[in-house]
Chains A and B, each alone.
Chain A
Amino acid sequence: MGVLDFLLSNLGEVSELTLQHVELVGVSMILATTVGVPLGILLTRRAALRRWVLGGANIIQTIPSLALFGFLIPVPVMGGIGSRTAIVALTLYALLPIIRNTYAGIRNVDPAVIEAGRGMGMTDQQLLWRVEMPLSLGVILAGIRVATVISVGVATIAAAVGAGGLGMYIFRGVGMVNNQVILAGAIPAAALAVLADFGLGWAERRLAVK
């Protein structure tokens, strides 16, 4: 039986797992953006925090994903078996690229533009929302795009902690030593990653300022 046949004959389950996968990634991206963008902005204002925040996010990034999922299982509130653990782990992974790009995007705004704005009597808030954010939106979105693509891949491991998603097929296939079943999880996951990359890349190009 080919992969295509497998996918077609299990269409119900495939779409359910894909939906779960999208939900895991979507929710964690929204969380990571809500936390990461303000943190990145904060770092441009408070230089003293930079080492700690970027360092912390860097360390999280170095933890192997399977280990991170494992670590979280015994943690109360955040952890346990199920999608909550997966969302926490995915959010943590997504933080670094989002914080880093927000910080870098704002810092890379032409200093002459900032100086002109300050010299004109713009307040810090006005400078941030009317100048710095619009000018760094492309870079910030690039961070979100990278984080999303990574998350689509990492989310396949979420199946190991009972969060569902397309990883279910991959783990099942590995257990059954059945490449068809592995591919039934891997191909839709790869397609999701490509789709996210394409869609966010398009948004990024539209919002980037020449």
Chain B
Amino acid sequence: MTVDSSPVKFTPARPGQPPPDLRTISGGRPVFRAELPDGRIAWLVSGYESVRQMVIDQRFSRALAVAPGRAQPGFEMSAAGSISGTDPPEHTRLRKLVASAFTARRVEALRPRVAAIVSQLIDAMTGRPQPADLVASFSLPLPAQVICEMLGVPAADLEQFHAWSDAIIGDWQRDSDEIMTAAVELYGYFVTLIENKRAQPADDLTTALIAARDDADRLSEHELTAMCCGLLIAGHETTANHINLSLLLLLDHPGQMAALRADPGLIPTAVEELLRCTRLGGLPPARVTTDDIQLGGVVIPAGELVIPLYSTANRDPSVFTSPDRFDVTREAASHLAFGAGVHYCLGAQLARVELQEAFRGLIGRLPGLRLAIPASDLEFKPGMAIHSLRELPVRWGEP
């Protein structure tokens, strides 16, 4: 067992492209040292078992990875002290406050409301001339409206939110002043909203968090405000772009799309396969080792940056047979698209319901759904955090 000291140059694949073939880059090693495009040195973890082992091991710290001086601009920078940037026991205390609102059972109860929003958005789309921009008319408003209703945020503020979250999560290459301004404005919005909800409590998650603060002192005022900001951002572009990228994948595989049209009962299984195959962003959130740790045949020294490559792990041939084949009938639910361990995506069950209802609606109500421009003309926003499409022009019905 030796410390591997020769970093390989690593560039994340471009949006819409499959993850890089690690058999070529790393010689198939599940854990290897790499030089990232920005010059940082990190250990990349690509094997399915190694990724799972890593993310459930508390010696891989998120708090250290988002600490001042180490955090990257954008989402990482604002994650310090939040549920995505803390370790147990702080993380457990914060996560428990919101976990119950996002469990499979609670989210299942929201399914009729999600389906109703899907239906309203498709009604509006079909009432206007084609082509439609699916981003603006469907994939973004759906998750945005759902999370706003959960938090008790007025629907009229949706567009403003989108501008803020776009700046914070959409583009890490942007001027960091612009990112900070957006983060400060979003924070200020929630300071005011929380004041208003204190005066007029409602049946929503923001009010429940206020009660956890005021009645039981279970989180600070800052943690309360940051939690609301984090939930709003995390619930926004992630699901929206999963809808976009999933649709592109389906349109690229007409046989698979036909199978779903013929049997909508396949949609839940298909959503898991779409999650397995779709790569939502650039590099996933990093960890820093608190100790020398053996992983995947190497020893990672303490204090090193380590990044789990979920999308590559989701194509590990030892777990998924013929992993590059997209198959909506595959039993793919053991994928790592939502991560694992204490940072397992809080909104995973909500995202599943949203994706299932989105595709039930798009496939059931828009026969002949297709791109209105060549796929090669689609533009992703710059930046690396989320592969965010500017527009997704679509048509449907008879050609």
Do A and B come together as binding partners? Answer: no
Chain A interface residues toward B at CB < 8 A:
none
Chain B interface residues toward A at CB < 8 A:
none
